[in-house]
Amino acid sequence: MRSFIVSLLAGLSVSLACAQAAPEPAASAQQSAAPVGFVAPSAPQPDESNAQRAKTQPGNNAPFWRSVHESGVQHGVTNLPGAEKGVLIQPMVQYPGSRFTTAGEAWRQVRNQWIIPYGGSLIVITVLALALFYFSKGTLGGHEPYTGRLIERFTYFERAAHWCNAIAFSVLAISGLVMAFGKFLMQPVLGGTLFGWLTYALKTAHNFAGPLFAVSLLVVFFTFARDNLPNRHDLTWLLKGGGLFGGHEVPSERFNAGEKVVFWAGVFLLGFVVVASGLVLDQLLPGLAYLRGDMQIAHMIHAVATILMMVLFIGHIYMGTIGMKDAYRGMKTGMVDEGWAREHHELWYDDIKAGKIPAQRSTGASAGTAAATKPAAQH
């Protein structure tokens, strides 16, 4: 019996010695599960400063990402397809006059410190300027007596193209404003949960309305391009400010110089930039790698061009609604009174009277949709 007890104790001693010499199972499994070529960053050591930061700055992940970069790993191994899927953070870069920072952090600073505050200020200044102009001048027009005889200003196709583009633009503008400024203005009021659902829904609407806006913008461009070609009368209109600060409007053709500026600068130039950059952000253009740096540049271009387009279109919306008497009626019904046409687009009205431009014209004061005396305009 004594020899059996001695043998048992000796076996237990050998087993304990082997257990102390062998690696821990959890650590061994963790090492075998780590992908080849990936080195996990060392977590920051808990100290008094980190504990204090956790209390004063909850959610601050800067120490973690700093340790990721200091680990020296630029590219890991991943099973996800596509470019840069194995890159956890972008490499450090230095811009003139600034400290070293990651490209992603530089993009965030440009967005939050330049595009958001200055772009928002420009939109607010535009709205306030139009409000001051409205309260000082009121609604323009109404100086020529109406005859009751109507002239076709926009065909059904032209109005359909315009309204499709206007609706798509409104969805994009509202959703874009919420995504850009809602974090600062709406989230404190709505709370994180409701604001999160709202922005997700608007982001989805933004992505679907983008292609519709692109197609309708192309239709609008080819529909109205001919009537927006510059001519010698536009220079006179611009030099006199369109007569906005005088007692009489400067004669113009179907579209005056101000409307042509909105068309070529807003619809054509900025429209092309906004659509092209938006398609890149939606990853709808074939043949592109869609690297992080490219997407960040596309986002900045898209944001700046969109803000400038919104400023131009805010002025266009103002003049097409409360800024000018019965301007909205022309786009709603397609018809305007002869007195309105004579006052705001005298050269266009003269061409219609001379038969140079075919357009529907009513024959009496009570005939809002009277039979046409001439074929409909084809633009």
- Out of 131-140, 161-170, 234-243, 362-371, least confident range: 362-371
pLDDT at 262: 96
Q: How confident is the model at residue 271 (pLDDT cuts 50, 70, 90)?
A: very high
pLDDT at 283: 87
Mean pLDDT of 47-69: 65
Sign of the dihedral through C-alpha 279, 302, 210, 191: positive
Give the CB-side neighbour count of residue 236, counting CA atoms within 13 A. Answer: 8
pLDDT at 210: 93
Q: How confident is the model at residue 76 (pLDDT cuts 50, 70, 90)?
A: low
Q: How confident is the model at residue 73 (pLDDT cuts 50, 70, 90)?
A: low
As a whole number, the mean pLDDT across the chain is 80
For the ranges 99-113, 236-250, 258-272, the one whose mean pLDDT is highest = 258-272
| Residue 26 clears pLDDT 90, i.e. is over it | no
Q: How confident is the model at residue 41 (pLDDT cuts 50, 70, 90)?
A: very low
- Out of 21-25, 194-198, 241-245, 323-327, least confident range: 21-25
Percentage of residues of the chain with pLDDT beyond 90: 53
pLDDT at 313: 96
Mean pLDDT of 238-266: 89
| Residue 225 clears pLDDT 60, i.e. is over it | yes
Mean pLDDT of 22-34: 44
Q: Which long-range contacts (CB under 8 A, 24 or more apart) does 325-334 make?
A: 325/139, 325/140, 325/141, 325/142, 326/141, 327/141, 330/153, 330/154, 331/154, 331/159, 331/162, 331/163, 332/159, 333/368, 334/152, 334/153, 334/154, 334/155, 334/156, 334/158, 334/159
pLDDT at 216: 96
- Out of 123-127, 168-172, 285-289, least confident range: 285-289
Rg (alpha carbons) of the chain, rounded to whole number: 33
Give the CB-side neighbour count of residue 286, counting CA atoms within 13 A. Answer: 0
pLDDT at 195: 93
Q: How confident is the model at residue 9 (pLDDT cuts 50, 70, 90)?
A: very low
pLDDT at 137: 87
pLDDT per position as a tens digit, 84-127 = 777 777 766 665 555 656 777 888 888 999 999 999 999 999 99
DSSP H helix total and E strand total for the chain:
16, 4
| Higher-pLDDT residue of 157, 365 | 157
pLDDT at 354: 86
| Residue 24 clears pLDDT 70, i.e. is over it | no
| Higher-pLDDT residue of 58, 7 | 58
